Copies of this chain bind each other. A is one copy, B any other.
């Protein structure tokens, strides 16, 4: 038989992929359901049928990146800064790419009221807590938040604002800077 023209599971998956690409490039409000539907070559109304609402579609998009769990448990705390630093620069590793993409999506839509709570939850449950669990020493939650803030800060300038000095920066230099920042972020506070 010739390949099915009508296949619910396949179109759902295609819409999810298209949505992910869109949310990767624009914020929650600026992504139109009609854009996503057009990408797949399908009618808008299908979004409603398969995902219920735009918010639920967005939730599902964030769930995609969750499948590859954050950080192999074998990763020790000393490798952690290097891993996080590689998130911005490494392009090949599939898991890393997915993690970095997920974070970028959250960052892009961070100031969209409708998306805010969804993002907060996803961030906590599938990023901050897993990282904090790997950190020895005091205040793991604060330090994992600081580490994440390094990623977000550099990404805002490099990718979202497209500010020259960081976007055009040499990859190795960038990785060294990230590593320095992440070391500082993960350092325990001596209170001095």
Contacts and interface: CB of A to CB of B under 8 A. Distances in A.
A120 B156 contact: no
Nearest to A157: B149
A145 B124 contact: no
Contacts of A180: 184-185, 187
A187 to B, nearest CB: 6
Interface of A: 26-27, 29-30, 107-113, 116, 119-120, 123-124, 128, 139, 141-142, 144-146, 148-154, 156-157, 160-166, 169, 173, 176-177, 180-181, 183-185, 187, 189, 191-192
Number of identical protomers: 2
A108 to B, nearest CB: 5
Contacts of A185: 177, 180-181
A123 B163 contact: yes
B128 A165 contact: yes
A111 B141 contact: no
28 contacts: A26-B113, A27-B27, A27-B29, A107-B111, A109-B111, A110-B161, A111-B111, A120-B161, A120-B162, A120-B163, A123-B161, A124-B163, A141-B164, A141-B165, A144-B165, A145-B165, A146-B177, A148-B153, A149-B154, A151-B153, A152-B152, A153-B153, A153-B154, A153-B156, A176-B192, A177-B189, A180-B185, A181-B184
